[in-house]
Amino acid sequence: CRTEMSNSSAAAPAELLKFVGCSEFRSRIALSILTGKPVKISSIRAKLENPGVREFEISYLRLIEQITNGTVVRISETGTVVLVRPGILTGGEFEFDCCAERGIGYYLEPLMLLGPFGKRSLSVKLTGVSNNSMDPSVEAVSYSCLPLLRRFLGRDSGSELSLERRGCHPVGGAEVRFQCPTVSKLKPLDLTQPGKIHRIRGMSFTCKVSPA
């Protein structure tokens, strides 16, 4: 007599997570990649005169496809429903042209969330708009998000963010490089003791304006 046993839980597909509306669009997709759970987002701007996903959100989905292998993205004909079945987060080295409707900071924030967990270190050159009135500038990301990322990865981890060329909306033309290593585990973070404010800095810039 022979008894065969099967692991039904291993064979079962991951649970489909369902959301409504366009809020937290980037976070929902990024967490789907990290957890390996497919996500369905419906009623995206369904009540507006121009419903559905915008060009910058489609650009973000293309970026997700770029840093993963096997990710399947489906968008309905009306654009009001997006289905993402996550693949493997691979990382790697590549260039990506960001949609000029949003700043490069819009794409940098989820990249910092996903970068440490890829199969390979992430090295990406982003082109597009470095400064606009809607998204955090590259400098804002560099002075706020990058130090926090380094504390999770280690100060000598090699994570870098550099602005090589500035470009403003709507023309763009900016070039930004972001490097992030992979880690097996994150360092614990203790932020219970507030630090002292030593200085307050301001920054001004011009784009395609003669210094004279």
pLDDT in tens, 118-166: 999 999 999 999 999 899 999 999 999 999 999 999 877 889 999 999 9
Q: Residues with Cβ < 8 Å from 64, sequence gap 6 or more?
A: 29, 30, 33, 71, 73, 84
Q: What domains sit in the chain, N to C, each tagged with a CATH number?
A: 14-89 (3.30.110), 91-184 (3.65.10.20)
Which pLDDT does position 12 carry in this prediction?
A: 56
Q: Is 80 exceeded by the pLDDT of residue 20?
A: yes
* pLDDT bucket at 210, cuts 50 / 70 / 90: confident
Which pLDDT does position 48 carry in this prediction?
A: 95
Which pLDDT does position 1 carry in this prediction?
A: 38
Answer yes or no: are the C-beta atoms of 106 and 56 closer than 8 Å: yes
The pLDDT tens digits for 175-203 are: 999 999 999 889 998 888 888 888 888 88
